[in-house]
Amino acid sequence: MSAPTSRAVTPDTAPPARAVLLARNGVAVTFTLNGLAVGSWFSRVPAVREALDLSAGRLGLLLLAMSVGALLAMPTSGLLAQRLGAARTVTLATVLVALGLTVAGLGATMTGSFAVVALGLVAFGYGSGACDVAMNVEGAAVERRLNRTIMPRFHAGWSLGSVAGAALGAGAARFDVAVGAHLVAVAVVVLAGTVLASRTFLPVAGDHTGDPADATPAARRRAQLAAWREPRTLLIGLFVLVAAFTEGAANDWLAVAFIDGRDLSEAAGAAVFGVFVVGMTAGRTAGTVALDRWGRVPVLSGTIGLAVLGAGLAVLAGSGPLAIVGVALWGLGASLGFPVGMSAAADEEAHAPVRVSVVAVIGYTAFLGGPPLLGLLGDQVGTLRALLVVPLLLLPTLLLVPVLRPPHTAEPHSAEPQTAEPHTAEPHTVEPTPAAHQN
């Protein structure tokens, strides 16, 4: 397969500034609504467990269905985004998200069937995983057009959306709103909002100057396989794997660890997790400024150091207040690894869909394998002590940080959006994706 021909961004091909800003807003809404869907589901898991009368083991199997669906989506969603464009992929994926939420919710309340709910969760997980890859590809494209770091803020939007979903779920549970009715309403809002938001995504170039053979399905499959042989892509995937584990360990176990290991109440444990989420959101909001000023390598090295210190304090500190400070530092330190890893995977636009999907496959295995592994370790040493795995994994990850440096470009970015004028120092190039069509 011959390489696609690079095409410089000129006044005739660069999207106007207004289109880039609209696309930025559309991507932010997409991230937020995806987070809302995920947060809404997890907030109603206790009600689903009660409706289906599940043991802890059976509930674990049910939740595994969603992870399996997401992992099935990752290897194929890059090819789908490359063929259809990010906007259409996000739309189709969100149809599956809405369908999955509806089936899971109604299956729990109307049929009481484990199999029906599991089927809905597979669809939900597949749609959410495919949407995750496509919206990260689009976010990276917007980031390149703006010529400044913005991806962490998109992920902050996802975090805020998941918190909003959890809050809505808590309110629905408080007022005895049926799971089916609640999740169907969320599905309608998420689908309608995402369809509207995706209409603002950047247009895909239609004048492909590369080899027409690159547009065939076989060529796209070869490109996907080739991405699995690229050392930089695989190392970025390993970095994202540890970043996802660092974040996921806190999401799954932090509240439980503080309840069990520090004798806190359930409400206090939830508040501790809230401190982590606030740290994550603050890091993703403010971290973009630091990334633009100093670049990926020094900023990520610093944030990993913060996460190591914070996780260590959270587990080992002798006083409660110092442990809470550790939790906040852990959140700040964990905030940038995943989104910046996705940006790094998408640095070269023509190869972004397949590379992001490869990195997502590697990274998301942390969400699948991390919780049960920490649980098994917690049975042996205690849940709180088990979290020491986080800093132990992060320390060697410092060696991977230089891999995330943008290829053939200098850091940090200029703060000026790239619109009608090419960059004077080094023209930005866009490699059109063969046979991609996008609304």
Q: Report whether 128 contacts 38 (CB < 8 A).
A: yes
First and final CA of the chain: distance in angstroms? 27
Q: State the Cα–Cα distance between residues 300 and 298, nearest whole angstrom.
A: 6
The DSSP-derived string for 201-224 is SPPPP----S-GGGGSHHHHHHHH
Contacts of 303 (CB under 8 A, 6+ apart): 283, 287, 332, 333, 334, 335, 336, 337
User: Tell me: the pLDDT tens digits for 246-304?
Assistant: 988 887 788 778 888 898 886 787 788 888 888 888 999 889 899 989 999 999 999 99
User: Tell me: the pLDDT tens digits for 127-170?
Assistant: 998 998 899 889 988 988 888 889 899 988 988 898 888 888 88
Q: What is the pLDDT of residue 257?
A: 85
Q: What is the pLDDT of residue 12?
A: 41
DSSP designation for 149: -
Q: What is the pLDDT of residue 149?
A: 86
Whether the bond between 212 and the residue before it is cis, its omega within 30 degrees of 0, is no
What tokens does 74 get? 């990752």
Q: What is the pLDDT of residue 14?
A: 54
Q: What is the pLDDT of residue 3?
A: 34
Burial 314-344 (b: 16+ CB within 10 A, else e): bbebeeeeebbbbbbbbbbbbbbbbbbbbbb
Name the phi and psi angles at 367, rounded to 5.
-70, -25
Q: Which residues of the chain have pLDDT under 50?
A: 1-13, 206-214, 414-439
Q: Report whether 33 contacts 190 (CB < 8 A).
A: yes
Q: Report whether 310 contacts 250 (CB < 8 A).
A: no
Name the phi and psi angles at 346, rounded to 5.
-100, 20
**Beta-bridge partner residues of 429:** 8
Q: What is the pLDDT of residue 430?
A: 37
Q: Report whether 191 contacts 183 (CB < 8 A).
A: no
Output the 3-class SS for 273-317.
Answer: HHHHHHHHHHHHHHHHHHHHHHCHHHHHHHHHHHHHHHHHHHHHC
Q: What is the pLDDT of residue 15?
A: 58
Does pTM top 0.85 for this prediction?
A: no
Q: What is the pLDDT of residue 298?
A: 96
